[in-house]
């Protein structure tokens, strides 16, 4: 089993910061329309704001530590999740198509995301944070192992 690229931590941190910033912005707007009569309320809210920012940042490291993927002889295996551990196994011959995608942040960091699709929409097989060259290699390898059988 292999870890994903460490650069993905930077991507997740930025995404988490954007999410926290949005939540905080809504909170600040709500606060500006209300009046703070007591000091402890203000302290509590500042603490909550700090938690909203720091919590997801702390989770990024844990999330990265738990992410593993492995290319078995017949099956792609993924393991991830902090609170809920997930281990998913997808046989190659069930593959309908392989998607490789890259968002603006991933483009900046030189990362790609690989998704395997089967006949079931519930198949859980997306590997984030792959080095761009590694994602292309994996794509070719999976397609080669998928063969040409009817997958349904």
Q: Which residues would be at the binding site for another protein (CB under 8 A)?
A: 74-75, 81, 83-94, 118-125, 149-152
CB 104, min distance to another protein, A: 29
Spatial neighbors of 48 by CB under 8 A, at least 6 apart, are: 27
Nearer to another protein, 89 or 105 (CB): 89
Closest separation between CB of residue 7 and another protein, Å? 26
Nearest CA-CA partner of 101 in 129, 71, 62, 60: 129
C-alpha to C-alpha distance for 121 and 93, rounded to whole angstroms: 16
Give burial (CB, 10 Å; 0-12/13-18/19+) of 84: exposed
Task: Give me the least distance between CB of 74 and another protein, in Å please.
Answer: 4
Q: Pick the closer one to another protein by CB: 32 or 73.
A: 73
Closer residue to another protein in complex, CB, 20/90: 90
């Amino acid at each position: 089993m292999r870890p994903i690229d460490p650069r993905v931590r930077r991507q997740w941190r930025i995404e988490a910061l954007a999410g926290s910033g949005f939540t905080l912005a809504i909170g600040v707007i709500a606060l500006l329309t209300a009046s703070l009569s007591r000091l402890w309320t203000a302290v509590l809210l500042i603490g909550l704001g700090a938690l909203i920012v720091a919590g997801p940042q702390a989770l990024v490291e844990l999330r990265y530590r738990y992410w593993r993927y492995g290319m078995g002889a017949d099956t792609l295996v993924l393991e991830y999740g902090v609170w809920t551990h997930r281990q998913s196994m997808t046989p190659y011959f069930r593959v309908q198509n392989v998607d490789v995608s890259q968002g603006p942040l991933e483009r900046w960091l030189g990362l790609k995301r690989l998704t395997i699709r089967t006949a079931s929409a519930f198949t859980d097989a997306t590997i984030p944070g792959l080095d761009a060259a590694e994602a292309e290699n994996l794509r070719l390898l999976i397609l080669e192992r998928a063969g040409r059988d009817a997958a349904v």
